[in-house]
Amino acid sequence: MKLILLYSLRNLIARRLTTTLTTCGMALVVFVFATVLMLSEGLKQTLVSTGEYNNVVVIRKGSNVDVQSAVEKQKALLIETLPEIAIDEDGNRLFAKEVIVLIVMPKRETKSPANIVIRGIDEKSVRLRPQVRLIEGRLPNFGLNEVIVGKSISERFEGALLGDKLRFAMRDWTVVGIFDAGNRGYNSEIWGDVNQMMQAFKRPVYSSVIFRLKDSKDFDVVKSKIEKDPRISLEAKRETRYYEEQSEMMSKFLKILGLSLTTIFSIGAIIGAMITMYSAVANRQSEIGTLRALGFQKRTVLGAFLFESLLLGVIGGIIGIIMSSFTQYITISTMNWQTFSQLTFSFTLSLEIVIQSMLFAVFMGLIGGMLPAIVASRKNIVSSLRSA
Amino acid sequence: MKEPVVSIKNICKAYQKGSETIPVIHDITFDIIDGDFLSLMGPSGSGKTTLLNLIAGIDKPDCGEIIVSGINITRLSESELSRWRAINVGFIFQFYNLIPVLTAFENVELPLLLSPLSKSQRREHVISALRVVDLLDRIDHKPKELSGGQQQRVAIARAIVTDPAIIVADEPTGDLDRKSATDVLNLMTRLNDEFGKTIIMVTHDMRAAKRAKTIKYLDKGYLNDSPANTDL
């Protein structure tokens, strides 16, 4: 049946204008569909890849994010004694007590204010995040009002370049380094000595503690100890899971909003495909009659028209995905509604999104072409031949 | 005496137009012998094309039987009838009815797609059919690149490529100039004389009809051996 498929393909080429217009409509819908998924994926990947699987974050029970959490100093000391915590080559525990505070800073270009995460870090904090790389300057000296800033902050916010002084919590903080954490959430943070931060912000408690497991399999044991010991009674999560949860709400919102829009657009595209295919059926009545008279079955005619419509979807899908792939060069900076902090991420195209978008395009083609193809296959041979 | 390839027994056909029933074919009975070249003539609306469609199995009679090569085609289901047509009937239409996006070769190959032939066997058959109609030099041309006469010859090649039991032709020269019409009629005569093909042709053109071995006349749905109207 290669010839019949060729017949469908050549008919699309013969009707270049309508084919182009219909595929453009479908391509636009696939573009919107794919970019929404890419946005959600970019957000998810940024937050999820922020975490390390072997790291455990401990926060107050019921507080989903560290910015809402409080960990008393005594509890932090008790956790530090857990034997499951990994020890580095110097014999020190890979354990850090941290404080998280939000401040407002103006953006360099628009001057509009945005929330920024200040992370008070411990000596082991950087070691616990191997994905963080110092690209300019040095690490802050502990005991001094020095900070290092994430690459996104340095690029987008005022007073965040190397050597600049940032003013917050009634103090001036010198930017002594700029770090890059790749496509991760840390890039939108400012880090300084945890003790200096606690004094400056008058915080008597830490926000969270983080440590590396000696053995990944010990997680359940550690979790049980932290959550069930009445002296501690905090919540322990793998760091990857912790950040995944942070992305869930916004990712879900983006998906719902985007997919609702796409559904509305797709109805338009399906109607477009339907009109194109109905006009193809109307213009080719005598061809349909001829094929049927020659002995081709109804299902062959149905298949030929359906294939034609599917091709419209596939071509639209490919164009839409190619168009959406260019958005990978765009970086979005927005508020993470769970932490109320600024978050920078990019559109991320994955194989899964490509497959989903293609299936969506094929679905549009299928739905758009189904009725016209059924009409074509049910045409009366004699009346079809009369239309020649 | 040759055996009839088509036996038509008491067929009738009527069309419904709103609440009105319009009878088109009235109780027609006749045989077409193997190797005949039959012309069906008659004025517009006399039922010629309807009768042709019934014999070709693209329409069904309201009563009676049509037996072609021993098969009662009125009893076949729609899909059985499709399979039957693919093997037993070759079609020649007034407006050629070639598929515009396919080449001459592909158009002739179309009916063979429904046969169990391999690709190389199909190619052989198509080449042979195009040789008969003398169009081997136009093998890769699409219909719009051919003249009306050439298009009709491609259609004839398509009609004979499966070596069907009968060839039905509905006004095959109706859209052609005099020269092309003569070429097409010569070709049809050759198919009948040299290859022994049974041809049933509907025509208005007496010049075309005279090429046939048998002429039958239809008038208001009744079949006669002579014209009811002497003007014909």
Q: What is the per-residue pLDDT for B232?
A: 46
Asked whether the predicted pLDDT for residue A252 surpasses 90, the reply is: no
Q: Do A297 and B91 touch (CB under 8 A)?
A: no
Q: Do A4 and B85 touch (CB under 8 A)?
A: no
User: Could you read off the pLDDT of A165-197 as tens digits, one per residue?
Assistant: 999 999 999 999 999 987 677 888 999 999 999
| Phi, psi (degrees; rounded to nearest 5) at A168 | -160, 160
Measured between CB atoms, does A17 come within 8 Å of chain B?
no
User: Could you read off the pLDDT of A361-371 as tens digits, one per residue?
Assistant: 999 999 999 99
Size of interface A-B (CB pairs under 8 A): 71
Closest CA to B57 of B11, B122, B1: B11
In chain A, which residue's Cα lies nearest the Cα of B162?
A: A294
Coil, helix or strand for A102? Answer: strand
Range in A97-111, A276-290, A339-353, B117-131 with the lowest mean pLDDT: A339-353
Closest CA to A291 of A302, A306, A282, A280: A302
User: Could you read off the pLDDT of A39-63 as tens digits, one per residue?
Assistant: 888 877 777 777 788 999 999 988 8
In chain B, which residue's Cα lies nearest the Cα of A4?
A: B110
Measured between CB atoms, does A133 come within 8 Å of chain B?
no
| Phi, psi (degrees; rounded to nearest 5) at B38 | -105, 135
Interface test with A, best of B50, B73, B89, B101 (most A CBs within 10 A): B101
In chain B, which residue's Cα lies nearest the Cα of A292?
A: B82
Helices (H), chain A: 2-14, 16-48, 73-80, 125-128, 151-156, 194-200, 219-228, 239-283, 285-293, 298-325, 351-377, 381-386
Measured between beta carbons, which residues in chain B are less than 8 angstroms from residue A289? 97
CA distance A282 to A347: 42
H or E, element range at B33:
strand B20-33
Q: Do A286 and B85 touch (CB under 8 A)?
A: no
Where exactly are the structural domains of chain B?
A: 4-224
CA distance B64 to B219: 19
Helices (H), chain B: 48-56, 78-88, 104-109, 119-132, 148-160, 178-195, 206-209
Across chain B, what does the average pLDDT equal? 92
Give exposure, B195-206, as e/b (b: 16+ Cβ within 10 Å). Answer: eebbbbbbbebe
Q: Do B95 and A297 touch (CB under 8 A)?
A: no
Place of tokens 């049910």: A378
H or E, element range at A111:
none
- How high is the ipTM of this complex? 0.93
CA distance A342 to A202: 23
Asked whether the predicted pLDDT for residue A131 surpasses 80, the reply is: yes
pLDDT classification of A338: cutoffs 50, 70, 90: low
Residue A5: Cβ within 10 Å count: 14
Closest CA to A208 of A318, A101, A332, A366: A101
In chain A, which residue's Cα lies nearest the Cα of B95?
A: A388
CA distance A127 to A95: 9
Q: What is the per-residue pLDDT for A343?
A: 67
Measured between beta carbons, which residues in chain B are less than 8 angstroms from residue A295? 82-87, 111, 114
Q: What is the per-residue pLDDT for A341?
A: 61
The shortest CB-CB distance from B109 to any of A3, A291, A295 is to A3
Q: Do B82 and A296 touch (CB under 8 A)?
A: yes
Asked whether the predicted pLDDT for residue A161 surpasses 70, the reply is: yes
Q: Do A6 and B82 touch (CB under 8 A)?
A: no
B→A interface, C-beta within 8 Å: 53, 56, 58-59, 78-79, 82-87, 91, 93-95, 97, 99-102, 106, 109-111, 113-114, 158
Could you say which residues of chain B have pLDDT below 50?
232
User: Could you read off the pLDDT of A195-240 as tens digits, one per residue?
Assistant: 999 999 999 999 999 999 999 899 999 999 999 989 988 999 998 8
Interface test with B, best of A2, A4, A290, A377 (most B CBs within 10 A): A290
Q: What is the per-residue pLDDT for B39?
A: 95
The shortest CB-CB distance from B101 to any of A7, A293, A296 is to A7
Residue B216's alpha-carbon distances to B64, B206, B207, in angstroms, are 19, 12, 14
Q: What is the per-residue pLDDT for B93?
A: 93
User: Could you read off the pLDDT of A307-334 as tens digits, one per residue?
Assistant: 999 999 999 999 999 999 999 988 876 7
Residue A231: Cβ within 10 Å count: 7
Range in A244-248, A257-261, B107-111 with the lowest mean pLDDT: A244-248
Measured between CB atoms, does A381 come within 8 Å of chain B?
yes
The CATH number assigned to the domain with range B4-224 reads 3.40.50.300
Q: Do A7 and B91 touch (CB under 8 A)?
A: no
Measured between beta carbons, which residues in chain A are less than 8 angstroms from residue B84? 295
Q: Do A295 and B114 touch (CB under 8 A)?
A: yes
Interface test with B, best of A4, A285, A294, A378 (most B CBs within 10 A): A294
| Phi, psi (degrees; rounded to nearest 5) at A122 | -100, 175
Measured between beta carbons, which residues in chain B are less than 8 angstroms from residue A4? 113
Measured between beta carbons, which residues in chain B are less than 8 angstroms from residue A385? 58, 93, 97
Asked whether the predicted pLDDT for residue A359 surpasses 60, the reply is: yes
Token pair, residue B189, equals: 């005569």
pLDDT classification of A276: cutoffs 50, 70, 90: confident
CA distance A30 to A155: 32
Higher pLDDT, B2 or A272: A272
Measured between CB atoms, does A296 come within 8 Å of chain B?
yes
